[in-house]
Amino acid sequence: MELEYDLIVIGAGSGGLAASEKAARYGARVAIAEHAKPGGACVNYGCIPERLLDYAAGFNRLEQVAASYGWQDCARVFDWARFVQAKEQHIHHLNQVHLGHIQEAGIEFLHGHASFLDDHTISVADRPVTAKKILVAVGAKPIKPDIPGVEYAITWHELYHLPRQPQSIAIIGADPIGVKIAGSLNALGTRVTHIISEERILPTVDAEVSQELQKRLINQGVQFFNKTRVTAIEKTNEGLALTCDGFSDPLMVETVLVDAPRVPNLDALNLDKANVQLTPSGAIRVDEFSRTSQENIFAIGDCTERIPLTPCAIAQGRSFAETEFGTQSRKGNLAWVPISISSHPEAATVGASEAEVRAQYGDAAGCYRTEFRPLLYCLAKGEEKTFIKVVVNRQDQERVLGVHMVGDGAIEIVQSLAVALKLGATKHDLDAAIGIHPSNGEELFSITGY
């Protein structure tokens, strides 16, 4: 029996789109199945909306600084509905851009839920479709913890469906999404309470970065309850009442947002019909070439146990297409992946944390750090500062193994440094570099160690 396609991709998120378009450029007959809007979580719920909200909040922050430069104060009010409308228009534009790319590449777009019938066949909107190879790129989805009353809470998927900006919000969870939303909403005037069960936010990043970021957020007005668990959420006439361990009185807020770790979005895929094995955590098991336990089925992105970031999914998708339809085998290099946190202030990191370097190299681990007040804020009142930290291996010519930054420009600066670290940059290389003056980035080239 002749199969209809060389490749069917399940999921039109960033990774699935990258894989399908690259495979099509190699001449493959490709279809992509998606029940929602193209672009995936990044475009429709995550990275793009988060960054737009961050920009909106940043204008308020800069306006407060503007008075110190001679700009006269004037009354301004943030319009949540207008922002959401503008955001939706931009997201719609991105959806159409992705659809245009699909059409230009000659890829067939199959709209509807997909599920496996066997290892070469999927059903999309009750239509059986066959392919030589199938790529699963369905991403992950937010979940709500098992708390009585959690049905009254929202996730980041529903945040922009709120009819108005919440006057008060409790954010449950220490992961980056919650930290970003907390900083942005606080800067826009929402009273934010951040509740985390861990000792600090962002437990997977360098400890000083998370501590610095949390300290700055507290100074800006975010209330933190560390090492605290919410045991119940109750809807009352005054709002939502949260019962927390260690507190006799409930916390009253208008909105509750839960930022629990995401889980692979595998519901109703019927992977068992294709003999695709899962890991103990419930992700699709893959090897370094994204191959599953079924030889013609592959998986990339957040539905596997690899770094859950959009650029990583794109890299995996392109490597898959190059290996299966191109001219060479590629594993996809996920070393030295920079991570951004578009919070207030913003933060970014690349490479290993101090704890990780000390665990691997012991006394050979070294750190350089600096904290300074950026020129932008030198005319304004307040204690706005930028923090930079460099971690090295002293026994390997002080090779730089990690760079961590909190403050304006962190995302762009660390993104650029990721290339240098991948190429083996040392502390001497940084010291010998000539910086742009005046800039935040030049401070990187004159920091002292401890």
The two beta strands, 255-258 and 168-172, are parallel
* Residue among 261, 258, 190, 263 nearest 230 (CA): 258
Q: Specify whether 31 is located in the same domain as 125.
A: yes
Q: Specify whether 300 is located in the same domain as 401.
A: no
3-class SS of residue 261: coil
At residue 449 the predicted structure's pLDDT band, cuts being 50, 70 and 90, is low
pLDDT value at 450 more than 70: no
Active site residue 437: yes
pLDDT tens figures, 163-173: 999 999 999 99
- Boundary (domain end) residue, out of 208, 233, 258: 258
- Residue 182 CA to residue 213 CA, distance in Å, equals 12
DSSP annotation string for 350-416: EE--HHHHHHHHGGGEEEEEEEE--GGGTTSSS---EEEEEEEETTTTTEEEEEEEESTTHHHHHHH
Q: Specify whether 116 is located in the same domain as 184.
A: no
| Catalytic residue (one of 35, 92, 404, 437) | 437
Q: Specify whether 161 is located in the same domain as 114.
A: no
Helices and strands (H and E) in the chain: how many: 10, 22
Q: Specify whether 137 is located in the same domain as 162.
A: no
Tell me the average pLDDT of the chain: 94
Q: Specify whether 253 is located in the same domain as 381.
A: no
pLDDT tens figures, 384-407: 889 999 999 999 999 999 999 999
Report the largest interatomic distance among the alpha carbons of the chain, rounded to a whole angstrom: 76
**What number of other Cβ atoms are within 10 A of residue 362's Cβ?**
9
Residue 300 belongs to a domain:
yes
pLDDT tens figures, 22-38: 999 999 999 999 999 99
pLDDT tens figures, 315-361: 999 999 999 999 889 887 788 999 999 888 899 999 999 999 999 99
Overall domain count for the chain:
3
* Residue among 21, 2, 31 nearest 112 (CA): 31
The mean-pLDDT minimum among 234-243, 259-268, 301-310, 440-449 falls in 440-449
- Boundary (domain end) residue, out of 242, 258, 274: 258
* Vertex 311: Cα angle to 170 and 121 (nearest 5): 100
Residue 362 and residue 356 in contact, taking contact as beta carbons nearer than 8 Å: no
- Residue 61 CA to residue 234 CA, distance in Å, equals 34
Q: Is the peptide bond before 345 cis (omega within 30 degrees of 0)?
A: yes
Residues 6+ apart with CB under 8 A from 435: 441, 442, 443, 444, 445
pLDDT at 333: 78
pLDDT tens figures, 253-269: 999 999 988 999 999 89
CA-based radius of gyration for the chain: 24
| Mean pLDDT calculated for residue range 99-112 | 96
CATH classification at residue 184: 3.50.50.60
Residue 52 and residue 35 in contact, taking contact as beta carbons nearer than 8 Å: no
CA 274 to chain centre: 30
At residue 147 the predicted structure's pLDDT band, cuts being 50, 70 and 90, is very high
Q: Can you give the residue range of the structural domain that contains 195?
A: 150-258
pLDDT value at 40 more than 60: yes
Q: Specify whether 373 is located in the same domain as 250.
A: no
Residues 6+ apart with CB under 8 A from 325: 6, 7, 22, 23, 26, 27, 28
Q: Specify whether 269 is located in the same domain as 356.
A: no
Q: Each residue of 207-221: b (16+ CB within 10 Å) or e? A: ebbbbbbbebbeebe
Residues 6+ apart with CB under 8 A from 26: 321, 325, 326
Q: Specify whether 15 is located in the same domain as 133.
A: yes
Global pTM value: 0.93
pLDDT tens figures, 69-99: 998 877 788 999 999 999 999 999 999 999 9
